[in-house]
């Protein structure tokens, strides 16, 4: 080889060594294209959206009164309410492949009325899907989600948000499953007769024996056991009982924000051992410590000015109490949660429990405030891009987006198929309430 040729060869190799890494870096930093490739193969599955209750409250339970084919954020919100965060154009822009619609019923609706209201909420979801058949299709299995995603529609699933909605009846639970409910949170904001809520004083220190039967029957049916909203003791009890992996449809990491709705690290490790998934919530008070503390301070101020029925500086003077609270807010501006803080929670769960244990559960249209950068359902790709910016691979982002939930859902179905060969419907009933202590 001549000296000139050798020099040319060295020059070309040197240029290759410089240019190839630059090209590789350019490709890896094209986050939008990477997100598109991931979500073309893996459906983005959001674990929790409260639009059905908004339809009930704002549009008298009539999906036809709300045009989801247009930008719903332009609809004037009610007093002290938020603009709607969900519509079909924004779901499409957010690349949503599957949505669990919450059929939430407030905890002050009890008994038979809670069951009826739940049925009405399920009806809203099904009518909503039927109204837009080119965009939505009801899904009842992991295979349905994959099939509907490949058909370029949005798989619509039903989630019950509170064990009070079955009125302490496993027969009701079974019938709600038959109607399409594929997860149930064991409590909402208050205890049930058989499970403790994260935001109520402990009554059972976890689950009662009947609460354990609820978990077992959900396993037999193939209904995902959702541990969002329940106390840490109830989480541990359910994890000890459940034969199928559990989910948290909308919860974040308590190590980052000490809010009772978030999941402690020791429980995250149990979830990992159990093969479950924690779908990270976007509620600002759950993802930002500053917001959590501000909301507690605001609640304290509100009680100080007007705390019925007996005290408060301006009790019986609602306008004066309102003005005083407004003055406090003006001098104590509300802090903002951010997309980056949501990503921090996702990364913490990954570090503590593993990449196979994390998902997304926005709580859109169930929260009045959102993190900056995650204002509505069109913003999911921005969150995935942020994680890519932090070094996440496409394979890891696919697990977060929907792969982990699909795995858990399919495993719950396999467990149910096995249990149904050995176990019939449970006839268990709640334990009798303890007799009141005698007076004197």
Per-residue model confidence as pLDDT tens digits over 148-199: 999 999 999 999 999 999 999 999 999 999 999 999 999 999 999 999 999 9
- Sorting pLDDT into bands at 50, 70 and 90, what band is 326? confident
What pLDDT sits at residue 21? 41
State whether 262 and 190 are in the same domain. yes
Let me know whether 295 and 352 are in one domain: no
Segments forming the whole domain that contains residue 325: 290-335
Mean pLDDT of 425-439: 69
Let me know whether 324 and 374 are in one domain: no
Given a cut of 50, whether residue 27 has pLDDT beyond it is no
Q: Is pLDDT at 358 greater than 70 in this prediction?
A: yes
> 411: number of CA atoms within 13 Å, CB side?
17
Euclidean distance between CA atoms 374 and 362, whole angstroms: 9
Quickly state the pLDDT bin for 28 (edges 50, 70, 90): low
| Assigned domain for 26 exists | no
Does 304 fall in a domain? yes
Are 294 and 410 members of one domain? no
Does 151 lie in the same domain as 112? yes
Per the prediction, the chain carries an average pLDDT of 92
- pLDDT score for 8: 45
**Regarding predicted confidence, which is higher, 300 or 105?**
105
Give the per-residue pLDDT at 317: 85
Per-residue pLDDT band for 17 (boundaries 50, 70, 90) equals very low
pLDDT of residue 11: 42
Q: Do residues 247 and 120 both lie within one domain? A: yes
How does residue 432 score in pLDDT terms, banded at 50, 70 and 90?
Answer: low
| Number of domains the chain is built from | 2
> Per-residue pLDDT averaged across 321-341, rounded?
91
- Please tell me the predicted confidence (pLDDT) of residue 304: 87
Specify whether 260 is located in the same domain as 121: yes
The residues that are catalytic are 48, 50, 161, 188, 229, 250, 363
Considering the domain architecture, whether residues 234 and 106 belong to the same structural domain is answered as: yes
Residue 305 has a pLDDT of: 86
State the pLDDT at residue 23. 36
- Give the pLDDT confidence score for residue 47 in this predicted structure: 98
More confident residue, 9 or 149: 149
Q: Is residue 277 part of a domain?
A: yes
**Is residue 272's pLDDT more than 70?**
yes
Residue 300 shares a structural domain with residue 352: no
Specify if 439 maps to a domain.
no
């Amino acid at each position: 080889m001549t000296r000139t040729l050798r020099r040319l060869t060295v020059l070309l190799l040197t240029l290759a060594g410089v240019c190839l890494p630059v090209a590789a870096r350019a490709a890896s930093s094209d986050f939008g294209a990477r997100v598109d490739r991931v979500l073309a193969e893996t459906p983005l599955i959001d674990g929790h959206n409260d639009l059905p209750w908004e339809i009930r409250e704002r549009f008298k339970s009539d999906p036809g009164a709300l045009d989801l084919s247009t930008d719903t954020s332009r609809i004037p919100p009610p007093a002290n309410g938020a603009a709607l965060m969900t519509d079909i154009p924004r779901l499409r822009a957010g690349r949503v492949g599957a949505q669990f619609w919450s059929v939430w019923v407030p905890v002050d609706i009890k008994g038979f009325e809670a069951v009826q209201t739940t049925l009405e909420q399920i009806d809203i979801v099904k009518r909503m899907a039927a109204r837009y058949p080119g965009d939505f299709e009801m899904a009842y299995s992991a295979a349905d989600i994959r099939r509907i995603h490949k058909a370029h529609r949005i798989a619509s699933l039903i989630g019950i948000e509170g064990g009070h909605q079955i009125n302490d009846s496993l027969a009701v639970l079974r019938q709600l499953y038959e109607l399409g409910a594929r997860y149930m949170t064991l409590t909402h904001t208050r205890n049930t007769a058989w499970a403790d809520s994260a935001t109520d004083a402990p009554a059972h220190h976890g689950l009662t024996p009947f609460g354990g039967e609820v978990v077992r029957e959900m396993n037999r049916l193939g209904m995902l056991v959702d541990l969002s909203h329940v106390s840490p003791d109830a989480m541990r009890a359910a994890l000890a009982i459940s034969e199928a992996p559990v989910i948290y449809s909308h919860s974040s990491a308590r190590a980052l924000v000490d809010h009772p709705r978030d999941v402690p690290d020791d429980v995250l490790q149990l979830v990992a051992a159990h093969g479950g998934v924690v779908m990270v919530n976007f509620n600002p008070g759950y993802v930002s410590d500053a917001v959590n503390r501000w909301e507690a301070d605001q609640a304290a101020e509100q009680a100080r000015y007007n705390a019925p029925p007996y005290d408060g500086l301006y009790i019986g003077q609602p306008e004066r109490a309102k003005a005083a609270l407004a003055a406090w807010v003006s001098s104590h501006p509300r802090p903002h949660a951010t997309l980056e803080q949501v990503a921090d929670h996702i990364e913490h769960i990954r570090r503590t429990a593993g990449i196979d244990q994390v998902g997304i559960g926005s709580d859109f249209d169930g929260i009045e405030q959102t993190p900056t950068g995650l204002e509505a359902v069109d913003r999911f790709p921005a969150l995935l891009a942020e994680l890519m910016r932090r070094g996440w691979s496409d394979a890891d982002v696919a697990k977060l987006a929907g792969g982990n939930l699909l795995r858990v859902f399919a495993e719950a179905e396999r467990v149910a198929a096995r249990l149904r060969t050995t176990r019939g419907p449970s006839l268990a009933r709640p334990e009798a309430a303890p007799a009141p202590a005698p007076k004197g």
